[in-house]
Amino acid sequence: MDLDVFVTAHRAEWERLDLLLRRGRRLTGAEADELVALYQRAATHLSLIQSSAPDPMLTARLTQLVARARATVTGVRRASWRDAVHFLTEGFPAAVYRARHWWVPTALVSVLLTVVMGWWIAHHPDVQAAIGAPSELRQMTRPGGEYETYYSSHPEASFAAQVWTNNAEAAGLCLVLGAFLCLPVVWILFTNVLNLAVGAGLMTSAGRLDTFLALVLPHGLLELTAVFVAAGTGLRLGWTVVDPGPLPRRTALAQQGRAALGMAVGLALVLFVSGSIEGFVTPSGLPTWARVSIGVLVELAFLTYVYVLGGRAARAGETGDVEMTGRSAELPVAA
């Protein structure tokens, strides 16, 4: 394509579009229709220039012009409480549901690795010796030791806030770093699995696995599920880099990235719940059966939320992506 000829042929249209945009709300009906037509043509022109004869200055000018026109045509959309309700009842659970083929296997493999590594640590004194000196391990695993006092060593509210922050950071890193070909997500997930396996293995070797489970299960079921969802979503995002499917790679990444951003907000709320349980329920004086029952009920409630509300929304076409008016324009690309 001869760029000079193309610019000469369409400059008048771009200048006319710019003039109509400057007039704002003072357009007549015919001028408004003309603005829409010129906006659509300018978007096509921008796509052609980007794919056939990219020119930085012209591309920047047309990008700005198309963005202004799109804002005028579609209007500025403000978030409302209805958006929050839609997100909580449809968008977020649907996104988690649609990602189940990634995070469910992630959860199963992680739990299996935790069990195997925990058993290995529990039955191999040489491995335990590599973790710490015998006196240190006894201090951690004895009744009233560090594993038990950890949950009551700080005021409930500050401890819950600290736990929530740490877990939200781990989940956020899984979502953000997923685009780097999955490798950082695998490392974060392995680190969490290793920490859990060490605790389970050491407490098992001391004959106190029941105590360990009583301390972990109330908050850990929901907390680990949230981490698995984040890791699975990050892995899916990373795989999109390798195999974007039928969509152009940039479009597929943008779609998965927007869904992951919404997932981060939803998982922050989920981790707030698990952090509150860890801060207030786990160290409480409630009987073990009551604390574990709370954790199981909350986990079942979350899974029901995902598979019932999320499944229904996903079957109705909800993807967890933002609304069309909140997205940047997706222009056609050259075949």
pLDDT at 333 over 70: no
Q: What is the pLDDT of residues 8-19, one digit of tens each?
A: 888 899 898 888
CB-based contact 305:269 (threshold 8 Å): no
The letter for the amino acid at 265 is: V
Distance, in Å, from the CA atom of 128 to the CA atom of 271, rounded to the nearest integer, reads: 31
Mean pLDDT value of segment 46-56: 76
Q: Which of 137, 225, 231 is nearest to 176 (CA)?
A: 231
Mean pLDDT value of segment 311-332: 65
Confidence class for position 324, pLDDT limits 50, 70, 90: very low
**pLDDT for 168:** 75
CB proximity list for 102: less than 8 A, separation 6 or greater? 232, 233, 235, 236
DSSP assignment of 53-70, as one string?
A: S--HHHHHHHHHHHHHHH
Mean pLDDT value of segment 185-210: 91
CB-based contact 263:233 (threshold 8 Å): yes
Q: What is the pLDDT of residues 130-160, one digit of tens each?
A: 998 988 898 888 888 887 787 776 666 765 6
DSSP assignment of 309-331, as one string?
A: IIHHHHHTT--SPPPGGGSPP--
CB proximity list for 173: less than 8 A, separation 6 or greater? 184, 188
Q: What is the pLDDT of residues 233-292, one digit of tens each?
A: 888 888 887 777 777 777 777 777 777 778 888 998 999 999 899 889 988 889 999 999
Match 């009906």 to its residue by tokens: 29
Mean pLDDT value of segment 112-128: 95
CB-based contact 92:262 (threshold 8 Å): yes
Distance, in Å, from the CA atom of 269 to the CA atom of 87, rounded to the nearest integer, reads: 12
Question: DSSP secondary-structure letter at 133?
Answer: -
CB-based contact 62:46 (threshold 8 Å): yes
Q: Which of 164, 154, 139, 115 is nearest to 275 (CA)?
A: 164
CB-based contact 47:251 (threshold 8 Å): no
State the pTM of this model: 0.70
